[in-house]
């Protein structure tokens, strides 16, 4: 128990179990990226090979196709209770940045924040993986999720560094940064007034480097987009293809990525530097996060 990865793992497992114990309508967001995939792996650790929590993915339909393939493969292999939601109306009316009708921030709000809000509340249709038919069917469960586990890390950007492990959101999904509950001695806010809900952040203390070190230690399968496929480019952070650029790198193994982060070219470059919506939001992402962006 002395090495740092085991310590981080133990704390995350504790938080996951605490959330599972305290919240009846719990779900976990899976963006298909490396962080939430590590989170999914930690759930398997916490629950001894099982994942007794539904996984929710918000499909913007601008995700890189490999991501969706990888999602469905693992959902079937690991027997996951896989659910996705989307903003069908915005997509039908082409209220997106790639369609040229709105800016990046509004596009994020439409395809992610809004879709997420209404998928969590059960107001919009949810689609659930049917393991017999091996395809998605309309989910009959419309109950709102009142606990949402999210794989954000404090080192990602400013506003995330102020999150709690258990962070309340009010009825309108809003985050009151100035008045957060105290959290100490591993006792978190697990009591909530009706109508409010909670975001749970088991990865808060992890860094990008820790994530890759853990992927290496546990041999966790991650989507191939993180590795250079011979063109000298790879993704460091995954999002929608119109707004996420690959970085120049020839790393094609987890080991090489770790070396790059430790001493190499990325040691002092912010991970989300390839994400254009951050820059439009004054560098803080805060406008989006107050509205429920993850």
Partner 1 sequence: MTNRQRMNIVIVGHVDHGKSTVIGRLLADTGTLPQGKLEFVREMCRKNAKPFEYAFLLDALKDEQAQGITIDTARCFFKTRKRDYIIIDAPGHIEFLKNMITGAARAEAALLVIDAQEGIQENSKRHGHLVSMLGIKQVTVLVNKMDLVAYDKNVFGSRQSAYTDFLKQLNVVPVSFIPISAREGENITVLSGRMKWYKGHTLLEQLDEFEPEKILADKPFRFPVQDVYKFTQNNDDRRIIAGTVAAGSIKPGEEVVFLPSRKRAVIKTVEAFNEPPKLSAHAGDATGFTMATQVYVRPGELVVAATDPAPQVGSRFKANIFWMGRAPLIKNKVYKLKLAATRTTVRLVEITQTIDSSDLSIQEKKNQLDRHDVAECVLETAKPIVFDTAHDCETTGRFVIIDNYEIAGGGIILEASSVEGSILEEHIRQRENIWEKGLITSFRRSTKNGHQAKFIIFSGAVGVGKRAIAKKLEEELFAHYSNVYYLGIANIDRGLDADITGSRDNLEERIRRLGELARIMTDAGLIFITTIDNADDYDLEALKLLNEPNEIVVINVGENELSHFQVDLALPASVDPSRAVEQVIKMLKSKEVILEYYL
Cβ closest to partner 1, residue 139 vs residue 157: 157
Number of neighbouring beta carbons within 10 Å of residue 283: 11
For 17, 25, 51, 52, 122, the CA distances from 47, given in Å and listed in that order, are: 8, 17, 7, 8, 26
Cβ closest to partner 1, residue 128 vs residue 162: 162
Mapped onto helix, strand or coil, the DSSP state of residue 262 is: helix
Cβ pair 82, 128 in contact under 8 A: yes
155 binds partner 1 (CB under 8 A): yes
DSSP state of 182: P
Minimum distance between the CB of residue 251 and partner 1, rounded to whole angstroms? 17
Minimum distance between the CB of residue 252 and partner 1, rounded to whole angstroms? 20
156 to 175: interface string for partner 1, x by CB under 8 A:
-xxx-xx-x-----------
Interacting residue with partner 1 among 65, 132, 184, 231 (CB under 8 A) = 184
Cβ closest to partner 1, residue 68 vs residue 270: 270
3 binds partner 1 (CB under 8 A): yes
- E-strand spans in 15-153? 26-29, 55-58, 82-85, 127-130, 135-138, 147-149
Q: How far apart are CA 33 and CA 68, in angstroms?
A: 11
180 binds partner 1 (CB under 8 A): yes
Interacting residue with partner 1 among 73, 130, 135, 181 (CB under 8 A) = 181
> Phi-psi region for residue 29, left (φ > 0), alpha (ψ -120 to 50) or beta?
beta
Using CB under 8 A as the binding criterion, the count of chain residues that bind partner 1 stands at: 60
Binding site for partner 1 (CB under 8 A): 1-4, 7, 9-11, 13-14, 17-18, 20-21, 44-50, 52, 79, 154-155, 157-159, 161-162, 164, 177-178, 180-187, 189-194, 204-205, 207, 213, 218, 262, 268-270, 282-284, 286
């Amino acid at each position: 128990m002395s090495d740092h990865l085991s310590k981080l793992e133990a704390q995350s497992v504790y938080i996951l179990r605490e959330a599972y114990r305290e919240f009846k309508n719990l779900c976990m967001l899976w963006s298909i990226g490396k962080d939430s995939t590590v989170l999914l792996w930690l759930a398997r650790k916490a629950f001894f090979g099982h994942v007794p929590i539904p996984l929710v993915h918000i499909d913007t339909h601008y995700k890189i196709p490999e991501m969706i393939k990888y999602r469905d493969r693992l959902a079937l292999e690991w027997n996951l209770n896989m659910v996705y939601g989307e903003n069908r109306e915005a997509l039908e009316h082409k209220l997106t940045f790639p369609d040229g009708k709105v800016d990046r921030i509004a596009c994020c709000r439409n395809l992610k924040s809004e879709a997420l809000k209404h998928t969590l509340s059960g107001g919009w249709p949810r689609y659930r993986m049917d393991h017999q038919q091996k395809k998605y069917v309309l989910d009959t469960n419309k109950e709102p999720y009142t606990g949402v586990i999210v794989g954000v890390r404090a080192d990602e950007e400013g506003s995330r560094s102020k999150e709690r492990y258990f962070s309340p959101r009010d009825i309108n999904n809003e985050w009151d940064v100035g008045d957060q509950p105290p959290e100490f001695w591993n006792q978190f806010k697990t009591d909530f007034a009706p109508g409010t809900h909670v975001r749970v952040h088991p990865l808060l203390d992890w860094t990008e480097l820790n994530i890759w070190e853990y992927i290496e230690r546990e041999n966790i399968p991650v989507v191939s987009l993180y590795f250079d496929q011979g063109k000298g480019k790879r993704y460091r952070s995954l999002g929608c293809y119109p707004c996420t650029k690959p970085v120049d790198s020839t790393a094609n193994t987890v080991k090489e990525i770790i070396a790059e982060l430790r001493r190499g070219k990325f040691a002092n470059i912010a991970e989300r530097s390839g994400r254009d919506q951050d820059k439009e939001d004054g560098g803080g992402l805060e406008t989006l996060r107050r509205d429920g962006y993850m």
